[in-house]
Every structure is written in C-alpha cells, then in structure tokens.
Structure 1
Amino acid sequence: MKKLLKAILTTVFSLSLLAIAALAFIYKPVVIRSPAMTPTLMPGDLTIVNRLAYSIDEASCTSGFCDGLKSWLGVAPALGDSVLFPHPVTDQLSAMRIVGLPGDRVQMKDGILHINGTAQPKNEFSYRLDKYEPQGPDEILPVCSNAPVNAEERCEQTQFIESLGDRRGHITLDLIEGSEGDDTDEFLVPNGFYFVMGDNRDVALDSRFRRNVDGIGYVRPESILGRVDLILMSSAGKTLLQFGKWRDNRFLKTIR
C-alpha cells in the first residue's frame, strides 16, 4: 500500500512539474511600462502574454518539436489583437493593437480611424477619472483632457468606444484635439507587415510615426512575441510590491 501511495504521489508531482513547465513555456508575464495602450493596458499592469496564440517565435524554441508545432498552429494575428513585440528603436517590450493587416490601407482623419476607406465606428461614452500622479515603473504622468492639472488633482480623460470590423468594441482615449496623429497620410501596409496603434491615440508613437522619430513603423510578424490576453494584477506604484498602489479593479481582467 505504501509503495502504491508513493508511486501515485510521485506521478502527481511529476505531472504537476510538467504542467508548470508547459504553462511557463506558453505564457509570459510582462509588466507594462508605457501609457500608449491606456486604458486597455496601463503602466504597472502585470499582463499574461500567450506565446502560442499565433506561432512560436524563434527565440522561444529552436527544437524540431517546435517546427512541428509551428506548422500545426499557423494562426495569423487578427485585426484588433493586442500584441507584444520589441520596439524596433529602443528594443523595449511594447504592446499595441493591430489595426491594419497586410494589404490594408490605413489612415487617420480628424481623429477617426479609416481602414480601406471605411471609417471605423467611434462613439464618445464617458470620462475616465484618475489622479494626476506618477504611474507605473517609469513614474509617467498621465495626459489629461482637462489640463493643466496640479499634483493629486482629478485628471479627466475622454473615452471612446471604437469597433474594428465585427470585433467587440474597445476603449480608446482622445485627449488632445488636433494632435499630430489625428490626421495622417494614407498608409498602404506592405505584404508581410502589420500596422499597429496604441489605444491612447495622442500619446502612442506607433505605426503612424517613422522609426527615425521613435515611432514603430510597420511590424514584421516574426517580431511579434505573442498576444496579450490577461491582466493578472496592477499597481500604479513604481513596483508591484507597493500594496497601497494596487488597482483593485484590474485583477484577472481579460483584454478586449
């Protein structure tokens, strides 16, 4: 009986280790540093990135087993996905939303996103309220619609619901009327590339901006490390250990 119990416990322990290893291989924890995707992703959010959402990047795995998985998965990033990739200029991990697929024509007109000549629905629905104080690991101050704002005062941010194709709508911020990224030339997304934008439209330096001005330009699929699926927890403090700065409305929050 003792031998049987020992065998069962050994098996359970081994399977548990395998499960943990598998989860660690598939899911990557990443702390968001930039406000470019606010309010979807905020500085100080601890996110979970699904590295197998599309395929396996070369840096994650180089074995023959991975080659088989790549051909089996073969799923391409979709319009509206929030993806993680290294910034082409700074190499810092960046999260942005895919708003243009290969061959798409993308343009901003008066703050409205147009894809292939069609304006994407955008409707104002509320103000987001926050304190005007440093946020996240890099202690970045938020941009406010009601600027100028003094320290600790109320920061108002105008929120919109934007819909891409048949996807469920997501929230964007439009904080500065007539900002540089509100009106652009039309971009034709080359084959083999994606066009990405941040949900915080007046703050994000994304595909609307060239790399020589710290923009992102077009994003290659091989540079995409995965899809951001979940906010595990969040802190407005410099570290996640500042318990008094935890955001209690951002635990286990799925990404739209």
Structure 2
Amino acid sequence: MAAKSGAAKSGAAASIIETLKTIVFALLIAGAFRTILFQPFYIPSGSMKDTLLIGDFLFVNKMAYGYSFASCPSINIGPVNIDAKDICGWVGGEDNRLFGSAPERGDIIVFRHPKTGEDYIKRLIGLPGDRVQVKDGVVYINDVAAPQEDAGTFHEVMERQGPQGLLPSCANGPVGMGADCQSQRLRETLPNGVSHDILNIGDQPQDNTPVYTVPEGHYFFMGDNRDNSADSRWLTGNGVGFVPLENLIGRADRVIFSSAGRSLLQFWTWRPDRFFKALD
C-alpha cells in the first residue's frame, strides 16, 4: 500500500509540474506574440473620433516599422515596476530600428508618449523636416494647405462613454443628457493623397498655432477629433510634442470589435458594424 501511495503522489507531482510547464510556455508564447507581432489596444478616449470610437478594440501591427525598446511592454504589477527601456533598451536607437521601415504620412500609429511613457494613438501628420501649422482649423504642411471638404454631420448621444464615463463635446452644445450631440465632419486630404475624416466643434485656441518644424528623427501627430485631442500641438508640460522614431510601437489597420458600453464584456453593447472594420 505504501508503494502505491508513493507512486500516486509522484504521479500527482509530475502532473502539477507538467501543468506549470504548459502555463509557463503559454505565457512565453503570448509574450513573444505581443512583443514581436501584434499588441492589443483599447481606445479609452474620443481624440480619434470618428475614425476610432471609445470602446474600439484593435491589434497594433508591430512589424510595420521594425522594433525598438518601445516594442517591449513595461511591467507594472504591484511592487514590480520595470520600464520597457530597461528590458529592451539595447534594441535600435534614436535614429535606428531593428528591421525598421519608415512610417507614412496619414498612418494611424500607437506610440509611447515621450514624457509620460503612456501608449497613445494618433495620426501621423508631419515627417522629419516638415513645417506644420494650423490656421483657422486647416493644417498647413510646408506652407501648403491640406484640403478639407464637407462630409456631413457626426451624431452621437450625449451620454457617458467607456470605463472613464467621458462626455462628448458638441458643436450644437451644450445639450442635455440623452440629446443629439453633433460635430461637423470634414474630409481632409494630406499631401501624399491619404484622405480621412476629422471632426470640428467650432473655433478653439488650438485651431491657430505657431509653425512647428519637425526635428530629424521625430514625427508630428494629431488626433482626428481636432478640438478634443492632446497631441503634438502641445510642446510644453506633459504635452506630446515631437515623437522620436524609437517611440513608435506599431500601426493600427483594423478594428477587431467595439463596445459602446462601459465594459468590453457587455456583449449586448457591441457595435456589429465595426467588427473587423478597416481604418483609413
């Protein structure tokens, strides 16, 4: 009986070890997938409306521009706080990326905020050496206006959106809860022919800016929701400012699914028209 009992314990221990190995291998594979291929990203704010909505869930293509330290995730679990630069600081550098390729104007890119280290998503507007200015809400790149055409009206309900419970801004505001919140939609075309929608709610201080000359090895980003986006137009404080090449994480090409509720788990609030929606 003792021999059988010992064999049973040995078998149970072996089973536990195999289970732990499976879990470790699964975590390693998932980590490699996230680091090398695609990174999941949830849209928490309305700065990219109406291209991206609060509650959109997408995968970022990390192969698009090659790899730098920003391709590695930071680890923040309880007392453990390891920055991505501590893990992958050896990959590439300020003007160099492993297997790198240059981003194109108009790309929707997730990047690491140069000052706070947070992941941001914006549209690439200015390339190294460009002069960028906003005048009366129109973007000028190297003194040439990016044409805007009327694209109708963007409608949404005045209600709290996403886990943060953010309220939209309206051109016809202020409006009450549950009312129709409207923004002017315009179709903007960049110098390379890329066209995309932007939103406007009226005259704002950020509609007129100084000229920004983009340094070499850096990029200039703006949100499509032009009057509600913290982006490269803010150089001081914790503003985004110019983003170094090494801070680029990857390109967003497609929404996987989207939830209009306060949680992705509330499947009854999913937006069926946004499943696998390609981005422009």
Settle same-fold status: TM greater than 0.5: yes
Quote the Cα distance in structure 1 between the aligned partners of 2:128 and 2:225. 23
Match of 1:186 in 2: 211
Quote the Cα distance in structure 2 between the aligned partners of 1:251 and 1:73. 31
Q: CA RMSD in A?
A: 2.6
Quote the Cα distance in structure 2 between the aligned partners of 1:192 and 1:20. 29
Unmatched 5+ stretches in structure 2:
1-28, 73-87
Match of 2:270 in 1: 246
CA contact (8 A) 2:67 2:91 kept: no
Deviations 1:51-101 (A, max 9, x none): 010111225465x9999xx87843111111111012334433210111000
Match of 1:95 in 2: 121
**Number of positions where the alignment pairs a residue of Structure 1 with one of Structure 2:** 236
Among candidates 29, 38, 47, match of residue 40 of structure 2: 29
Among candidates 235, 244, 247, match of residue 210 of structure 1: 235
TM-score normalised according to structure 1 size = 0.84
Match of 1:165 in 2: 191
Shift of 1:24: 7.3
Quote the Cα distance in structure 1 between the aligned partners of 2:136 and 2:97. 42
Deviations 1:15-37 (A, max 9, x none): xxx89965873111110112111
Q: Give the letter aligned to residue 29 of structure 1.
A: P
Structure 1 window deviating more from structure 2 (194-203 vs 53-62): it is 53-62
Q: Give the letter aligned to residue 240 of structure 2.
A: I
Match of 1:229 in 2: 253
Residue 198 of structure 1 pairs with residue 223 of structure 2? yes
Q: Give the letter aligned to residue 105 of structure 1.
A: R
Secondary structure of 2:101's partner?
Answer: coil
Match of 2:64 in 1: 53
CA contact (8 A) 1:128 1:156 kept: yes
Unmatched 5+ stretches in structure 1:
1-17
Quote the Cα distance in structure 2 between the aligned partners of 1:52 and 1:217. 24
> Which of these two proteins has the greater Rg computed from alpha carbons?
2
Q: Give the letter aligned to residue 34 of structure 1.
A: S
Quote the Cα distance in structure 2 between the aligned partners of 1:217 and 1:59. 17
CA contact (8 A) 1:181 1:208 kept: yes
Shift of 1:167: 2.9
TM-score normalised according to structure 2 size = 0.77
Match of 1:104 in 2: 130
Shift of 1:187: 0.7
Shift of 1:145: 1.1
Deviations 1:141-176 (A, max 9, x none): 111111011111111111000011233310000112
CA contact (8 A) 2:163 2:262 kept: yes
CA contact (8 A) 1:229 1:254 kept: yes
